[in-house]
Amino acid sequence: MRYERNPYGAQDEQWEQEEEAAAYKEALETDLDKLANDRLGNLPDNTLSDRVNSLLERTGDKRSELMDKYHEWLFDVCRTVEEQRI
């Protein structure tokens, strides 16, 4: 007796599972980014101390770059908090 079997069935199933896992991971990453942005948006406008602000005033052209790095760091902190909640 011959069975109708797709020789690529196992590969197709594995591919589908990998696609589903990738889609789930992408959706989770998107949700975590949104939650982190929401948390970041709820922080006070000035999260730096007066002393740090006075130091930043002396950084000249580097101030913008340093502030960008600081905001990236704050986002990473908020993102990590959200990851720990899962």
- Asked if residue 13 belongs to a domain, the reply is no
Q: How many domains does the chain have?
A: 1
Distance, CA of 73 to CA of 44 (rounded, Å)? 15
DSSP states of 11-52:
HHHHHHHHHHHHHHHHHHHHHHHHHHHHHHHTS-S--S-HHH
Q: Which domain holds residue 51?
A: 24-85
pLDDT tops 80 at residue 75: yes
47 has pLDDT over 80: yes
| 3 belongs to a structural domain | no
Give the confidence band of 60 by pLDDT, cuts at 50, 70, 90.
very high
Q: Is this structure's pTM higher than 0.85?
A: no
Residue 68: the pLDDT is: 97
pLDDT of residue 2: 60
Whether 60 is in a domain gets the answer: yes
Does the residue 2 lie in any domain? Answer: no
Sign of the alpha-carbon torsion through 65, 69, 74, 79? positive
CB atoms within 10 A of CB 77: 14
Q: Per the domain annotation, does 55 fall within a domain? A: yes
